[in-house]
A = this chain, B = another copy of it.
Amino acid sequence: MVRRTKEQALATRELLLDTAQQVFLEKGVARATLDDIARAAKVTRGAIYWHFRNKAELFAAMCDRVSLPMQAMLDPLMRETGPDPLGRLKRTTIMVLQLAAEDPRARDVFEIMFFKCDAGNPEIASVLSAEADNKRQCIKELKDSLDAAIAAGQLPAALDSGLAAEALNAFVAGLLQNWLARRDFDLAAQAPVLVDMLFQGFAGLTQTKRPPPSLA
Contact = CB atoms under 8 A, between A and B. Distances in A.
A65 interface: no
A203 B204 CA distance: 9
Nearest to A159: B197
How many copies of this chain does the complex contain? 2
A191 to B, nearest CB: 11
A40 interface: no
Nearest to A118: B28
A16 to B, nearest CB: 19
A119 B28 contact: yes
A175 B172 CA distance: 10
Contact of A136 (B27, B128, B182, B193): B182
Contact of A181 (B28, B132, B199): B132
A198 B116 contact: no
A120 interface: yes
A19 interface: no
Interface in A155-178: 160, 162-164, 166-167, 169-175, 177-178
A32 interface: yes
Contact of A27 (B31, B120, B177): B120
A121 interface: yes
Contacts of A199: 201
Contacts of A132: 181-182
B193 A160 contact: yes
Nearest to A117: B118
A170 B178 contact: yes
21 contacts: A29-B120, A30-B31, A30-B121, A31-B120, A115-B119, A116-B119, A135-B181, A163-B190, A163-B194, A166-B178, A166-B194, A167-B197, A169-B174, A169-B178, A170-B171, A170-B177, A173-B174, A174-B177, A197-B202, A198-B201, A200-B203
Given A29-B118, A163-B193, A166-B190, 8 more contacts: A115-B118, A163-B197, A170-B175, A170-B178, A174-B175, A196-B201, A198-B198, A200-B200
